[in-house]
Structure 1
């Protein structure tokens, strides 16, 4: 079946305007289709990157974590996967540029795996400190969601300082729970 784009019109200018109108409509439909695909792809990536099996995180906390995940991908090209499990943590197969944070509150387990360049930028002392001290003893009081946000903020702040050599205002703190802005909306000046 051949598609013939021969607009009907009495004069050459009417035919031309009808042709331009058809092209504009095709362009708008193509653009809308592309935008819909982009939005769907982002939703799928966000859903796969954050898995909260405990269903403890509030909407604002989920949005914060997903903002961190998007920011890490957009700013540094690092994939982030955050899994909050009710079962004990199992070893994960990770890509070379993937940051993994696994938390199992019922088992009081935390596992953080950083890709090479991120590990180098953060420093072994910093990674050791957040891995050992950040969550210890805070699972019984259900403080771990706040500590997760604090940890993500600390990682973001440290990476932005390395990237831009600028001072960065904290994006999340325990005391300012109402000031829960995600990394996308603050920090880096261009």
Structure 2
């Protein structure tokens, strides 16, 4: 299964991605992890990304897409994958569609995790990270809404919206239902 996971900060994407990766037997591919891996190993893409990161700039879409393309070409992603953190913009979604088409494949579904803003803010503030102030958390949510929500339009027909409120297990069950998979698959 080839999935994309989208949701605002605090929606539980990382938690659900790890669970779904195990249940579905596909790798969880996080762009944050890709950046850390490529930069840490000092690969050509990692060195290029580091130039932008060290300057406090956003890594260009081309570099991010190249990292994703490379990762999707690895053997463990042949049967499927779960993308988390990419694409975040419509141009990135268009680039991903091209990458997948070149490999003769497409996404099976786009999972949109939603939750009320106050729930998201409370979750992020509870993490206790110094950069998780209420103003900054609300600002990141506005950025997500402005930049990433339009990506959902690019994937019209593939989007499965899941309310990410409740226990982790409840949310996982809702996701499995949205994907048309039996909840019993989560006991594997």
Question: What TM-score do you get using the length of structure 2 for normalisation?
Answer: 0.29
Question: What TM-score do you get using the length of structure 1 for normalisation?
Answer: 0.29
